Structure 1
Amino acid sequence: MIKKLDKGTINKIAAGEVVERPFSVVKELVENSLDAEADSIKISIKNSPVKYLEVKDNGTGIKKDELELAFQRHATSKIENVNDLFRLNSLGFRGEALPSIASVSYLTSISKHKDEDIGAKIVYDAGKKVRFVEKNRKTGTTVRVERLFYNVPARKKYLKNPSYELRLIKNYTGKLGLAYSFDKKIEVKLDKDGKNLLHYSPYDDFNDRITHFYGKKLANNLLYFEEEGDFYSFKGYISSQNYTRKNSKEINFYINDRIIKNRNIIYSVKNALSEVLESREYPYLFLFVNINPTAIDMNVHPQKLEARISNERKIYSSLYHKVKGLFEKMESISEVDMKKNESSDEKSTEYNEENNSFGETAKVAEKNLFENMYSERNRKSDKTKNLNLFDHRFLDVVFGRYLLFVSREDLLFVDFHALNERIFYDRYKEKGFKEYSSHIIPEAIELGKRDYELLMENKKFLKKMGIKFRDFGNNSIVVETLPAFNNRENLHAEEVVREVIENLEEGKKSNPFKDIISSLACKTSLKSGDKLNKSDIKEFIKYIEKGGMSLTCPHGRPVIKKLKKEDIDSWFKR
């Protein structure tokens, strides 16, 4: 039997599309504040984002006799007819957010319009109005959301832990504030239990906000670019090849000050840097695109996280050439600097009367010292005869990456980096972290506020993993111990810490540090191009014979592959 759903059920279904988690609530409310021309927005959280969150602004406010109407589905001040959907100048437009949020929470809203002397307060419990009274306040709007999803337990159980939900809100708030750091500057504050987690003042420019949120090191490694097109313009900042990460989560794309997800932007940038970065390296990117509203359709995603752009290939192509040209220019500058260094090196061979020596002698000594420091990357090959894996004889290292073993019937290729990862990972799990924890020369690391708080939040857990650090003030830490799988002296504390941060950002509930262990094993393993000695290969053979042909690295990649004689014969049609 076909039935028409009741109003409460309809609102809960709509809420499921718009309000996915506390972050969604903050996003919708902040967008309402920005559309109301607020230049100061404060987000407050108490206990956890599910229990209490509030967004307060100094925008134009809602008229007293329209406050209840604002909580009716599809009631909006931002569009009047369907044609307005294709020339949007606002962040919101559907009129779904407020009724959707109210239907799955206990919601209180207090607002005063700029043209009125007194405001009003309205309260909703699971979508039902329970109170409406006059209430005085300064011009602007406050929306308080308590007990989110209390009447939709199925949705609530899929939320992650409160710290992860809070991290999503911090991440969104921090990134949105970057868009409003140019001509139109917005003050943004985020507090939890009275403690300030983020504050962009109206006087902070883009560099100030990047430094505050990400840290000074990223701010110092950003390159600026801009482009003017016929129906669009963009400006952006991209990190140099010295400052990258292992995923694309920091490729940030804004259209008309709105955060948008777009895979094509990632592909364009990655392709532009294909000759500069490794396959698993991604830059930090902050791309701000201004497009004529008639050229974009925002009505394609419930949470307005995607956009359909007319003639979008033109933008992607322009971005590709701009980024590629920027790094080619940087490379040419580096080559000029290298030539200067080479010419100065030639001069250093001249006789120095003051110390009665040749500059070249000092240069050679320095080189030998460098080789000693990184000896594990410069191992001298010794004879590798009589090394057998099963019934296969070791032949050579091919492509600087694979151990090649041969028999009368097939070839075996062993990815020694993947195998090394598996060995270190298993040792770490089997023998515990303490055995592989080693003291280092204390190293101070300056972080952004976001990363600093993430590390401090997980300090006890990281200590169990052999990563011990102490607070050094001003969003900085001093690292005292690190996991030490081997004797690689060139594995710096900052490299390990930033790897750990990227894994902690995932916020997985079950076995949250598996990825961290895998990453550390990867960082400390032999890499493609490293020279192996006989003892290395013996150790690898021993481990394969123990673990079998189905071994994989901790990330799931195969360690060993077989190429049969008949497969090769088939290539030549024999």
Structure 2
Amino acid sequence: MPILLLPDTLINQIAAGEVVERPASVVKELVENALDAGAHRVDIDLEEGGVRLIRIRDDGAGMEPDQLPLAISRHATSKIASLDDLEGVSTLGFRGEALPSIASVSRFRLASRRPEAEHGAALEVEGGAVGEVMPRPHPPGTTVEVRDLFFNVPARRKFLRAERTELGHIEEWLRQLALARPDVELRVSHNGKPSRRWKGEGDDLLSDSRLHATLGEEFARNAIRLDHSGAGLRLHGWIAQPAYNRASADQQYLYCNGRAIRDRSVAHAVKQAYSDVLFHGRQPAYVLFLELDPRRVDVNVHPAKHEVRFRDSRLIHDFVYRTLQGVLAETRAGSTPSALDAPHMQHATQPMEGAAAWGRQQAPLGLRQVAEARAGYEALYGRSDAVESHDADAANPGMAFAPSVPTGPGAGATDAEGDATLPPLGYAVAQLHGIYVLAESRDGLVVVDMHAAHERIGYEKLKRAHDGEGLRSQPLLVPVTVAVSEREADVAEREAETLAKLAFEVTRAGPQSLAVRSVPALLAHADVEALLRDVLADLREHGQSRRIAEARDELLSSMACHGAVRANRRLTLPEMNALLREMEATERSGQCNHGRPTWAFFSLPEIDKWFLRGR
């Protein structure tokens, strides 16, 4: 069969197969064009889930009449003119494929007017057949009308779902957009009835009311606001506290330079950051905005622009992981890192207000209080830790957290109300069934799972101690030969320095084999071959690996679990207060090693409701 040039209509329909998956794809392309045109308000009118009608009206810059035919021509665009423009593209759309592709599979109408023009113009396209440009009355801006999507491609139309399903996809994409563009007012109607409105609220990407409107009050109440810059990168937005988690990834939103994207490397970094605090099988929730020089990211790697390629994906992965890890480390029991009250975090490791700051503000104790605190700590943690800690307090009483605070109810209170200096978790008043510690706080009741809390405290101590030594390497008596693929052997050879930092000594023994001569000392009895394969897989896909650290943490977590106080052990009040003070000063103490919460708070108004007080 001879090679023939395809007709333009067929070319556009083939392109539509990539660009136009469903009505939500059409809404995405048209609304992005409106935003690129500088719109401050966009009206989206839909019928039958967008299958019967999609009408997008904006108040943007508009177009001249002679530009309308160019707008529906393939690869005609006002957004790039050279390779330099493509490499640094900052607009949402840029290829010039959307309008001709959409027009080829629908009954299409385009109308527009420049603000300075006396009247507008309109152009109609029927299944790819282009009509004449005609003068039409039109307000400043542009209106695009798409009727009977896929009317001339019945095979594609059969793949569309029910009206409710297609509308749900459109609403989900608009929710993504609403989070990223609080400066734009969005009005949505379906089948002639208003269904959704997001008011324009200025340029603040961290708009609290927009967060409430899109993800709900529960997410907003549990969100931690962050804003961190470094290495030419900026990461800001919200992440949910570990206690607020999901069964699916339905509340995970990632944006790169304002564009909603999916990226496996960043998703992996977020998952790793949460790995030490999230309950098994649960998903974190977040809204993250990553900003970097447009020339450091290629947005032209996916037909629908859902994915991007970073020039230095390893740096991006590490930056996201370390930023979130630093924020999550501050989720201490008793702290309140609410997104809607806390100041913007300018650095990922900046301490949050709450438990950690409280201890540093307290005055030195009297001898009786120190003795009581010492007794509690010796009973709970052993004499050596307690003595060292108290000796340090004596030398510098304002710097230590736990022994420098009162240990009994009411001790240290100074104002008329008697609770001005209460620590975040308050003071213990009782133990319930040998499992829970009950404490009176300033505003209500704190309940602590003593085993879960002590387990996290011990785990963090073990990690700090081991991190202080670093990863020690243990030579093997007999080198272990591991059969691998040629690609894995190449990775091992290329990443020899990285493997050495992970306490692995690995040399290439052949095209498809590696010789392991030393391993991390703490994991000497683990399955060396399986561990090495996992590390190489991570290095190949993400440019780095935390498999060693994760395996180490799993071992230390088991050790901490065995060393934690058990249920049904009776604690004295000084022991209970020692546990509370340690929780307030320990990173990630809001969750145990397995991600379960370690404490809960019940406010006085909430308790009053139990007993119908004030009604």
- The aligned residue for residue 141 of structure 1 is 142
- The aligned residue for residue 196 of structure 1 is 194
Which secondary structure state, in structure 2, belongs to the residue aligned with residue 149 of structure 1?
coil
Deviation at 1:144, TM superposition (A): 0.7
State yes or no: 1:274 paired with 2:336.
Answer: no
Runs (4+) of structure 1 exceeding 3 A deviation are 332-340, 343-349, 360-371
Counterpart amino acid of residue 29 in structure 2:
E
- The aligned residue for residue 24 of structure 1 is 25
Counterpart amino acid of residue 200 in structure 2:
P
Contact 2:16 2:104 in 1 (8 A): yes
- The aligned residue for residue 352 of structure 1 is none
Shift in alpha-carbon separation, 1:365–1:74, aligned structure 2, 3 A:
closer
Q: What is the CA deviation profile of residues 363-392 of structure 1, one whole-angstrom value per residue up to 9, with x for unaligned ones?
A: 467889999xxxxx9xxxxxxxxxxxxxxx
Contact 2:62 2:142 in 1 (8 A): yes
Which secondary structure state, in structure 1, belongs to the residue aligned with residue 330 of structure 2?
helix
Deviation at 1:146, TM superposition (A): 0.5
Which secondary structure state, in structure 2, belongs to the residue aligned with residue 347 of structure 1?
coil
Which secondary structure state, in structure 2, belongs to the residue aligned with residue 330 of structure 1?
coil
**Distance of 1:13 and 1:280 partners within structure 2:** 40
Contact 2:107 2:126 in 1 (8 A): yes
Q: TM-score, normalised by structure 1?
A: 0.58
**Distance of 1:368 and 1:274 partners within structure 2:** 26
- The aligned residue for residue 157 of structure 2 is 156
Deviation at 1:273, TM superposition (A): 1.2
- The aligned residue for residue 86 of structure 2 is 85
Counterpart amino acid of residue 159 in structure 1:
L
Shift in alpha-carbon separation, 1:265–1:369, aligned structure 2, 3 A:
closer
**Distance of 1:105 and 1:368 partners within structure 2:** 65
- The aligned residue for residue 58 of structure 1 is 59
Contact 1:251 1:266 in 2 (8 A): no
Which secondary structure state, in structure 2, belongs to the residue aligned with residue 110 of structure 1?
strand
- The aligned residue for residue 327 of structure 2 is 326
Contact 1:109 1:144 in 2 (8 A): yes
**Distance of 2:292 and 2:179 partners within structure 1:** 18
**Distance of 1:30 and 1:231 partners within structure 2:** 30
Q: TM-score, normalised by structure 2?
A: 0.55
Shift in alpha-carbon separation, 1:318–1:370, aligned structure 2, 3 A:
closer
Counterpart amino acid of residue 155 in structure 1:
R
Comparing 53-62 and 245-254, the one that deviates more: 245-254
Which secondary structure state, in structure 2, belongs to the residue aligned with residue 98 of structure 1?
helix
Q: What is the CA deviation profile of residues 196-241 of structure 1, one whole-angstrom value per residue up to 9, with x for unaligned ones?
A: 2221111276211121122111111110112223332221200011
**Distance of 2:6 and 2:430 partners within structure 1:** 82
Counterpart amino acid of residue 246 in structure 1:
A
Counterpart amino acid of residue 198 in structure 1:
R
Which secondary structure state, in structure 2, belongs to the residue aligned with residue 245 of structure 1?
coil
**Distance of 1:15 and 1:238 partners within structure 2:** 36
Deviation at 1:300, TM superposition (A): 0.6
- The aligned residue for residue 41 of structure 1 is 42
- The aligned residue for residue 347 of structure 1 is 409
Counterpart amino acid of residue 187 in structure 1:
E
Which secondary structure state, in structure 1, belongs to the residue aligned with residue 331 of structure 2?
helix
**Distance of 1:162 and 1:361 partners within structure 2:** 56
**Distance of 1:361 and 1:166 partners within structure 2:** 53
Structure 1 unaligned residues grouped into runs of 5+: 350-359, 372-376, 378-530, 532-574
Shift in alpha-carbon separation, 1:24–1:345, aligned structure 2, 3 A:
same
Deviation at 1:279, TM superposition (A): 3.3
Counterpart amino acid of residue 163 in structure 2:
P
Deviation at 1:361, TM superposition (A): 13
Which secondary structure state, in structure 2, belongs to the residue aligned with residue 283 of structure 1?
coil
Deviation at 1:194, TM superposition (A): 3.0
- The aligned residue for residue 174 of structure 1 is 175
Contact 1:105 1:147 in 2 (8 A): yes
Which secondary structure state, in structure 1, belongs to the residue aligned with residue 48 of structure 2?
coil
Contact 1:121 1:134 in 2 (8 A): yes
- The aligned residue for residue 246 of structure 2 is 245
Counterpart amino acid of residue 171 in structure 1:
E
Contact 2:241 2:331 in 1 (8 A): no
* Aligned residue runs from structure 1 range 495-506, under 5 A: none
Contact 2:23 2:49 in 1 (8 A): no
Counterpart amino acid of residue 201 in structure 2:
Y
Q: What is the CA deviation profile of residues 418-438 of structure 1, one whole-angstrom value per residue up to 9, with x for unaligned ones?
A: xxxxxxxxxxxxxxxxxxxxx
Deviation at 1:179, TM superposition (A): 1.0
* Aligned residue runs from structure 1 range 495-574, under 5 A: none
- The aligned residue for residue 119 of structure 1 is 120
Counterpart amino acid of residue 221 in structure 2:
N
Which secondary structure state, in structure 2, belongs to the residue aligned with residue 282 of structure 1?
coil
Shift in alpha-carbon separation, 1:324–1:81, aligned structure 2, 3 A:
same
Counterpart amino acid of residue 70 in structure 1:
A
Counterpart amino acid of residue 37 in structure 1:
G
State yes or no: 1:228 paired with 2:229.
Answer: yes
Q: What is the CA deviation profile of residues 55-103 of structure 1, one whole-angstrom value per residue up to 9, with x for unaligned ones?
A: 1100000111111111111111111123321011211111100000000
Equivalences, count = 360
- The aligned residue for residue 266 of structure 2 is 265
* Aligned residue runs from structure 1 range 87-102, under 5 A: 87-102=88-103
**Distance of 2:92 and 2:306 partners within structure 1:** 11
Counterpart amino acid of residue 258 in structure 2:
D
**Distance of 1:361 and 1:99 partners within structure 2:** 70
Counterpart amino acid of residue 191 in structure 1:
S
